[in-house]
Amino acid sequence: MQLDQITWQEVDIYLKVSDGIIIPTGSTEQHGPMGLIGTDALCAEHISRLGGNAANAIVAPTFAYTPAPFNMKFAGTISISAGLFEMLLVEVLESLMEGGFAHIYFLNGHGANLLPIQNAISKMPTLTCKIRSWWEFEPVNLLRQKLYGGWEGMHATPSEIAITQAIHRIVPSGNALSPPIKLSLDYIREHSGDRHGPPDEHRKQFPDGRVGSHSALATPKDGQTLIDTAVGALTADYLEFISS
């Protein structure tokens, strides 16, 4: 059930049975030569909606305007400050709590969202909240490694592009046909959570927008497999969460 496509009376009936809601969080930023600008939001939204249907859970509208300052030198990127994002999250959580929701499950699709979400949650001690990025579920992560290994990289990953290929469209590989410079494990650890440098520096280091990710390995068939795996993992995890 999508919150924006049901009535307040239907929400009222739902809350008599469950006080949980899924909130997808993504971004609006470049994703390399063949990745859609809305990739992070599109992946989190699609998986959330299918998982919500399977778990009989309400799914909130997707947060698509979020922090992505490092990508501001790439056309089409829209970034808001981490502070503004955090404040918006707090007000949304306050609204949901006022309406009767008490279990809030964030399904995330963008690394830079994690700290602001954690900060917002810390200001709402009466809510029970959980954050999961769709790629960190164990079966999804194992599948990503099996499909792409070290070429999964950090940004414009073949796994997220495969998902958008399955649900939206396939963009020709173009210059993404050639692999990028592969990242070291140390680099990935040090920059996890999208801890990247200033936009000029980031564009110079990764001129086509890929961050160690061989996007051209993506296929819609793999995307559907990733979706199915992520939906199954989300459904199980949400149902366990809501029962706590």
Three-class DSSP category at 134:
helix
The arrangement of secondary structure in 3-242, i.e. its CATH architecture, is 3-Layer(aba) Sandwich (3.40)
Whole-angstrom distance, CA of residue 125 vs CA of residue 158 = 37
Per-residue pLDDT at 188 exceeds 90: no
Per-residue pLDDT at 191 exceeds 90: no
Q: Give residue 56's pLDDT.
A: 98
Q: Give residue 180's pLDDT.
A: 94
67 close to 81: Cβ distance less than 8 angstroms: yes
- Angle, helices 138-148 vs 158-167, to 10°: value is 100
Q: Give residue 13's pLDDT.
A: 98
Q: Give residue 194's pLDDT.
A: 86
Q: Long-range contacts of range 63-67, CB-CB < 8 Å, 24 or more positions apart? A: 63/23, 63/24, 63/25, 63/26, 63/88, 63/89, 63/113, 64/26, 64/27, 64/28, 64/38, 65/28, 66/25, 66/26, 66/27, 66/28, 66/110, 66/112, 66/113, 66/116, 67/27, 67/112, 67/113, 67/116
pLDDT digits (tens, 9 = 90+) for 110-150: 999 999 999 999 999 999 999 999 999 999 999 999 999 99
Per-residue pLDDT at 217 exceeds 90: yes
Stretch 33-44: mean pLDDT, rounded?
98
Whole-angstrom distance, CA of residue 119 vs CA of residue 84 = 12
Residue 195 banded pLDDT, cuts 50, 70, 90: confident
Residue 88 banded pLDDT, cuts 50, 70, 90: very high
Stretch 187-198: mean pLDDT, rounded?
87
Three-class DSSP category at 165:
helix
